[in-house]
Amino acid sequence: MQIRRVAAIVLPMAFVLAACRTVSHDPRPVADAFAVFPATFVSEDVLPDRQVQPAIPLPALQGPGRLVARPTTPFLWTWRDPGPSAHAAFRLAGDNPFGQRMSFLVEDVFRDREGTEWVRIQTGEHPNGAQAWIRARDVRLSPISQRIVVDLSARRLVHFVRGEARTTLTVAIGDEDTPTVPGRYFVWARVRYFNPAGPYGKLALGLSGFSKVVRFGPSPGRLAIHGTADPSDRGKSVSLGCVRVYNAQIGLLWSVPMGTPVIIRR
């Protein structure tokens, strides 16, 4: 089982964000069919990752979601529990399929009786909220200064910087059959597109969460905040689970770093 999971994590193939309905008899393309291939995106980060700061010592964590962990190695070994007798669980890729260095959301920190420092992270893998322990020496810890909150009932996205609301946007969300799944996620990928009139607009922020009903073959569709060229989408429940932001406004999110917490609430 673990070998198959490693293969799924490191496979450098196209991935899907809220890709297609589970109904297999309908061959029609859908607006959020987020199959990403090399010819359709710019693989480098949208902007330099401003989240990266000088390494800090293992802090006393005051609640989850205050730090991100950026790998310093190509792969991270994860562990079921921290401590001298810890057992390895699986190997996690340090880069996403776009070649961008991951920044995992930190949930907890721990120092065992031998002085080894451990960090519990959200892995960004299925199921939603999946967590694992890693050794602190394999990552660089940085404080979080930004977050995104999506209010589904209000159809509103708010981008906070250092606790202050920087940007407030009216967005589209999933419909009744393919709802946007509430949860606490993080920015897993940042993808800029050559064709702003395409299904994902100018930019997509891939998230660490997944749809509960949308699938791409055997894999669940990954959630995203992405652009749209259609201004009439704003304020409506029309997507397959992704959060859509009008192209003229999504540029306001270009500076959001990898690892930024994204809270989606009802």
Task: Give the closest residue to 199 by CA, choosing from 14, 26, 40.
Answer: 40
Known catalytic residue at 226: yes
Tokens at 33, concatenated = 């069919």
Burial class of residue 109 in the structure, from the number of CB atoms within 10 Å of its CB (0-12 exposed, 13-18 middle, 19+ buried): buried
Known catalytic residue at 20: no
Burial class of residue 117 in the structure, from the number of CB atoms within 10 Å of its CB (0-12 exposed, 13-18 middle, 19+ buried): middle
Q: Are 140 and 55 in contact (CB under 8 A)?
A: yes
Tokens at 74, concatenated = 């190509």
Q: Are 102 and 258 in contact (CB under 8 A)?
A: yes
Task: Give the closest residue to 122 by CA, choosing from 101, 102, 142.
Answer: 102
Burial of 124-135, coded b for 16+ CB within 10 Å and e otherwise, reads: bbeebeeebbbb
Among 25, 126, 159, 226, the active-site one is: 226
Q: Which residues belong to the active site?
A: 226, 242
